[in-house]
Amino acid sequence: MKYLITGGAGFIGSHIADFLLKNGSKVVVIDNLSGGNKKNVSPKARFYKADITSPGVSRIFKKEKPDVVFHFAAHIEARESAKDPAFDAKTNILGSLNILENCRKSGVKKIIFASSGGEVYGDAKIIPTPESYQPRPVSPYGIAKLTVEKYLEFYQKMHGIDFVALRYGNVYGPRQNPNGEAGVVAIFIDKMLKRKQPFIHGTGKQTKDYIFVDDAAAAAVSLAKKNFSGVVNIGTGKETSVMEIFNKLKNMTGSLATKKHTAFPTIGFKRGSLSVKKAGKIINFKPQYSLDEGLKKTADWFKLVYGKK
């Protein structure tokens, strides 16, 4: 089997590549390196620097003829999407359509798409939130993710391409970019290690479903190999507040940072947790890492790579 990963030099995509390569699979990576890092790509994978919106992507598909595609390339900044919805749509919707069209033309059997549980469900009234809950995205980024899910359904019905839309919780872990607006764990660790002041949005009581990247990647690979098509949540089923994350990371890094707050984003949501019962039935999914274990692995990686200043 040959797997193609868009965004394969990025955070989650590079971990998926590593999982596949360990199993002896052939891996092709497409990434424009706007958010990813070439150092994340194993030398065992074939790498192409390309943008998912580019017509040149078709040449890669024609040459490589992948069996399965993991589509993880995206513009991931939700608040930025509210400032420039057209740019977000160009990358996340039109870019995804470009990938889907190339899947159709090259005979791809299945596509695994990185969607977003929190951004698609919005401020859900049911916690943990099941896949049957009516989506209410609060940002253009979330709207784009839901739109691509609908296109995946269309391509399955019209062209027979199976799909899995992974509605992820808040994925964190090694290789996460600490310089963007997304990824509070990476941002907090980076600030704390550099003895800079991290800021907590709002009261810090807002919750999300934090899942370690190895669990997120393992679930994606398992679902790619399973005879299943549709939408599935990947999280822990647990709520954790931003304040809890702050306190745990402060202890792990030995930071002297105080609790300082900033305004809560207008497109943010107050509670988030995903029901993973469906994933449990399909692939016997159960996160292998506790929050403390995952945070420690992440903090240790940041200390090693960035150094404690």
Question: What is the distance between the alpha carbons of residues 188 and 193, in angstroms, rounded to a whole number?
Answer: 9
* Residues designated catalytic: 141
Length of the chain: 309
DSSP codes, the chain: -EEEEETTTSHHHHHHHHHHHHTT-EEEEEE-SSS--GGGS-TTSEEEE--TTSTTHHHHHHHH--SEEEE------HHHHHH-HHHHHIIIIIHHHHHHHHHHHHT--EEEEEEEHHHHH-S-SSSSBPTTSPP--SSHHHHHHHHHHHHHHHHHHHH--EEEEEEE-EEE-TT--TTSSS-HHHHHHHHHHTT---EEETTS--EE-EEEHHHHHHHHHHHHHSS--EEEEES-S--EEHHHHHHHHHHHHT-----EEEPPPTT--S---B--HHHHHHH----SS-HHHHHHHHHHHHHHHH---
Q: Are 68 and 59 in contact (CB under 8 A)?
A: no
Q: How far is CA 252 from the centre of its chain?
A: 24
The amino acid sitting at 31 is D
